Amino acid sequence: MSSPYSLLPADLLREISIAGALLVYVILVLLVTKYTYHAMRSRGLDHNVAVYYNRKVIHVLAGGVVALLVPHIFSSPLIPTLFALGLAVLTYVPHRTGRLMYWFQVKDNMYEVNFCIAWALGLLVLWLLLGNPSYAVVPLAFMSFGDAVTGVIRNSIYKRRTKSWVGNLGMAVVTSIIGMYYAGYVGLAAAVIASFVEHFEIPPLLDDNALITLATVATLLISRLTGFL
């Protein structure tokens, strides 16, 4: 077995095969949301509302489900990190070419690209520095499930992408459960901080995905350095 601090997978070919299967799963999620988009539009939802709901569905089914599987099926962060960075490229290209996947991408921002990059780097940094893949799941799950909840709440109320403390409260409920499960009271503290910083963003690079990841990674690392984790 490889060390939890190692970048070398225990079985490279096996983990590449697993990553390939997960890539197919994520692509299927993206394709299925094209149908959910048209279903929502047929029910009278505005384009931007349907797109925003789809983005949160993808957060959960792609980013969230895969994140929860990672500690159980990978022996090192190398392959899932490269997998996520590959998805960042995959989602960036339509912005570059002007051929957006209209059912979940928008011209105004490339935050789904930031999501993939934050997912990859959060996993890599925490796995290598803390030596525990379960801790590395925390920022990924906060982004995937917590941010999805706050987005759905805000979209339901305001019918547009905006910030609202009501959404952040909903996020805090979800992330607190996740944080406690994976990292105890340190995870709970990280959940509160991440739910607070989600309310802010510094475009174009520091969106809520990046801030959630940075805040969570910093909280866990400081907690390890100070002996709380």
pLDDT digits (tens, 9 = 90+) for 33-66: 999 999 999 999 999 999 999 999 999 999 999 9
The pLDDT value recorded for residue 1 is 45
Residue 95 lies in a domain: yes
For the chain, what is the mean pLDDT? 93
Angle between helices 133-141 and 165-197 (to 10 degrees): 140
Residue 1 lies in a domain: no
Residue 3 lies in a domain: no
Residue 4 lies in a domain: no
The domain tally of the chain equals 1
Tell me the one-letter amino acid at 147. Answer: D
* Averaged pLDDT for residues 84-105: 96
Please say if the pLDDT value at position 156 is more than 90. Answer: no
Residue 194 lies in a domain: yes
Alpha-carbon span 50 to 18, nearest angstrom:
31
% of the chain beyond a pLDDT of 70: 96
Give 61-77 pLDDT, tens digit per residue. 999 999 999 999 999 99
Give 159-209 pLDDT, tens digit per residue. 776 777 888 999 999 999 999 999 999 999 999 999 999 988 887 668 889
Residue 7 lies in a domain: no
Residue 33 lies in a domain: yes
pTM: 0.93
Q: Name the residue range of residue 54's domain.
A: 12-225
Cα atoms found within 13 Å of the Cα of residue 198, Cβ hemisphere only: 36
The pLDDT value recorded for residue 3 is 56
Residue 78 lies in a domain: yes
**Exposed, middle or buried: residue 65 (CB in 10 Å: 0-12, 13-18, 19+)?**
middle
Number of Cβ within 10 Å of residue 160's Cβ equals 11
